[in-house]
Amino acid sequence: MIRRILAVAMIEATITRRNRWLLMATVIMVLFAVALTLAGSAPTGTLGVNMLTVSVASMTTLSVYLAPLLALMMAFDSIAGEAERGGLGLLLSYPVSRAEILLGKFVAHLSALAFAMIVGFGVAGGLAAVQGGVDAASLVALVRLILTSILLGAAFLALGYMLSALAGSATGAAGLSAGLWMVFVVLYDLGLLGAVVFDAGGWFTQTLFPWALAANPADAFRLWNVAASDGVAMATGLSGAASALPDWVAPTSLLLWPVLALLLARYFFERLEP
């Protein structure tokens, strides 16, 4: 089983390298991370936190958008596209299970995503260190940002596979992925915000809102990074919701999402007739 997963993963890794996905994702991450670090170097003194902390805070905000986007762009074509080209039927004529194919792709894509995250955020961290604005706490925050970004990417990779398996065509999967991104990253927050405003500090805002926030992987990612670091919390202004929840909630949500989404992806993949 491991052998077949690795065989698929190796091929997918080659494809990711060949079609310059890896390069593109890494360049995007580096550009954004460096730009945010440099831009964040100005107001450091006023907040009383060091340069890397500010940069991690703004990179957290960036990653909420970028990690799901990159993951979905990598994932959306991977099942529907292959089914359309006829390659999936051939692949499935070999003694390899759909779960193995899915895991093989996941391993390859997640490695590519992790590489881009580590390089991008790492370069930004190095830049901040060179400029002297680094301490132990901010380094921990940086490592946490990298790891949680990879987790967030994992969740959206798996969600992307799910959409790819149920869309029926690559273009359909692309449309669904764009919709999913809008919902999780933009509309969900807007909806909650609207509800909070309408509720005017009542039961919903007090009790349900933090949990609803944590149920969304993108917000769980934000909450985890914010709750774990006072500096980042100050810089993002999300500390209210973060402090209303027990510490374990956001990490659990972010850790469960990739698993849940992979199971869903597998369920729909099994039902697909190539």
Partner 1 sequence: MGEIVLNIENAGKSRAALQVLDGVSLNAATGQRIALLGHNGAGKSTLMKAVLGLTPLSAGRISVAGSAPGSAAARAATAYLPEAVAFHKSLTGREQLTLFARLADCPVAQVAGYLDRVGLSEAADRRIGTYSKGMRQRLGLAQVLLGRPKLALLDEPTSGLDPISRHELYAIIDEMAELGTAVLIASHTLTEVEARTDRIAILRAGRLVADDTLENLTLRAGLPTRLRIRANGDAAGRIVDATGGTRVNGMSVDLLCAPERKMTELRRLSAMGDVVADIEMHPPRLEDLYRHYSTGENH
What residues line the site for partner 1 (CB under 8 A)? Answer: 3-4, 7-8, 10-11, 14-15, 18-19, 85-87, 89-96, 273-274
Which letter does DSSP use for residue 207 in this model? I
User: Nearest 5 degrees, angle CA 144-CA 150-CA 152?
Assistant: 100
Lookup: tokens for 30: 């580096």
Contact 89, 70 (CB under 8 A): no
- Residue 17 Cβ, how far from partner 1 at the closest point, in Å? 9
Whether the CB-CB separation of 157 and 109 falls below 8 Å is answered with yes
CB of 117 to partner 1, least distance (A): 23
Burial of 114 (0-12, 13-18, 19+ CB in 10 A): middle
Residue with Cβ nearer partner 1 (7 or 118) = 7
Sole residue written with tokens 């790891």? 147
- At 25, the amino acid letter reads A
Q: Specify the residue, 34 or 96, whose C-beta has the smaller distance to partner 1.
A: 96
Q: Between 18 and 200, whose beta carbon lies closer to partner 1? A: 18
At its nearest, how many Å lie between partner 1 and the CB of residue 85? 4
Q: Which is nearer to partner 1, 2 or 200 (CB)?
A: 2
Smallest gap from residue 166 Cβ to partner 1 (A) = 17
Minimum CB distance to partner 1 smaller for 24 or for 259: 24
Helices vs strands, H then E, count in the chain: 16, 0
Residue (81 or 175) nearer to partner 1, CB: 81
* CB neighbours of residue 247 within 10 Å: 12
Between residues 3 and 248, which has the closer beta carbon with respect to partner 1?
A: 3
Q: What is the DSSP letter of 274?
A: -
HSE-up of residue 139 (Cα within 13 Å, Cβ side): 6
How many residues can be counted in the chain? 274
Cα 256 to Cα 138: distance, rounded to the nearest angstrom: 26
Q: What's the min distance (Å) between Cβ of 23 and partner 1?
A: 13
Least separation, in Å, of the C-beta of 60 and partner 1?
34
Q: Over the range 58-92, which residues count as b (16 or more CB within 10 Å of their CB) and which as e? A: bbbebbbebbbbbbbbbbbbbbbbbbbeeebeebb
Shortest Å distance, C-beta 204 to partner 1: 46
Measured from the CB of residue 270, what is the shortest distance to partner 1 in angstroms? 11
Q: Which is nearer to partner 1, 14 or 169 (CB)?
A: 14
